[in-house]
Structure 1
């Protein structure tokens, strides 16, 4: 299996690459600064590094990159600084998801490609009409006004829900929603739910980035797990001890 990972230089994306390599998958990554990647990546024959800014690639280049991929995973996000939050591109996650999916569709492959998006519990799955409190609605409304990355996450998931949908000829998707990301060195037990079991604003849970990466890798490589969650927006929490 060949998997393209975008956002691979980020804290979660890098762990996803490592999880896929541990499972002996072939991995491609698109990164702007390959010199910052671990030396072990540069000498790994199962890993292909493409030096580019994803939104600067032409449509033809994008189609070539995804042409042999069985799955594409996006761990793209905005840097937590002023430029990252308010600078361009404000729709990085959405535009990348749209262009990658359109490249897959344009290739007109005889197989369905998996697309896994890392999203957030702050975004509701509108297919399920998930209920939230009035107070949380108010906070989310402020986030939409004040923090462009929040709208970007919403739009990216909405693109998959409404433009790709549940029965596309060439694509299947899942949007993984972690809550309260933390750093840990080792995998721990985690739990997956169809919808949040707690308020993402007022009672957020925690999940390690390595657990998120493990779940995303498992979705890609485990067809039974994929069959359970495709077309959905599963929520992941690290299991309480």
Structure 2
């Protein structure tokens, strides 16, 4: 299976690519710079590195990179710097999702392409009317005003929910919502739920980036797991953080 990964140079994207390779996939990555990528990727025949800015690719180039891929995974995010949070592009995740999905549809693949988006537990799945406290609603409202990356994450998931929807002929999707991200060396036990089981603002759990990578790779490779979560926004927690 061939998988296109965007955001592969980030902390979670790096873990996703490693997990995809462990699970036997051929991987294409689109990165702005290959300088900080693992040397093991550069010497691996199963990894194709494309050096480009995802939003500066032409429609023709985007279609070419997506062509032949069974799945597309996005771990794109904003750098936690002033420029990364408040500078351009403010809709990096949303615009990339829209352009990648447009390229998939233009290619008219013979079978639906899986699109896996890394999102956040702070974003509600409005298909499920997820309940949150008044205090959390107030904090989320402030985040929408003060933190453009939060709005970007919301709009990217909303695009999949409202534009791609559940019965698209060319695209199936899952938006993975980790809670508070941490670094760990190995895959550990984790649990997934249709909706948050704790407050993402006032009682956040923890999710290791390697577990997010493992879950996203497993969605791509395990068709039964995919059928369980297709068209949904599962929340993932490390089991140890729920004790």
TM over 0.5: yes
Give me the CA root mean square deviation.
Answer: 0.6
Cα displacement (A) at 1:85: 0.2
Which secondary structure does the structure 2 equivalent of 1:34 belong to?
coil
Gaps of 5+ in 2: none
Find runs of 4+ consecutive structure 1 residues off by over 2 angstroms. none
Count of aligned positions: 241
Superimposed CA distance per residue, residues 41-74 of structure 1 (whole angstroms, 9 cap, x where no aligned partner): 1010000000000000000000010010000000
Q: Which residue of 2 aligns with 1:125?
A: 125
Query: Counterparts of 1:98 and 1:212 in 2: how far apart (Å)?
Result: 22
Alignment of 1:216-227 (within 5 A): 216-227=216-227
Give secondary structure in 2 for the equivalent of 1:36: coil
Please give the per-residue CA displacement for 1:167-200, whole angstroms capped at 9, x wherever unaligned.
0000000000000000000111000000000000
Secondary structure at the counterpart of residue 236 of structure 1: strand
| 2:158 counterpart SS class | helix
Following the alignment from structure 1 to structure 2, what is the Cα–Cα distance between the partners of residues 63 and 6?
14
Q: What is the Cα deviation at residue 36 of structure 1?
A: 1.6
Q: Distance in 2 between matches of 1:12 and 1:84?
A: 17
Whole-Å separation in 1 of the counterparts to 2:146 and 2:104? 33
The alpha carbon displacement at 1:38 in A equals 1.2
- What TM-score, normalized to structure 2? 0.98
Structure 1 spans left out of the alignment, 5+ residues? none
TM-score, scaled relative to structure 1? 0.99
The corresponding residue for 1:84 is 84
1:23 Cα offset (Å):
1.1
* Residue 180 (structure 1) aligns with: 180
SS in 2 for 1:35: coil
Deviation (angstroms), 1:83: 0.3
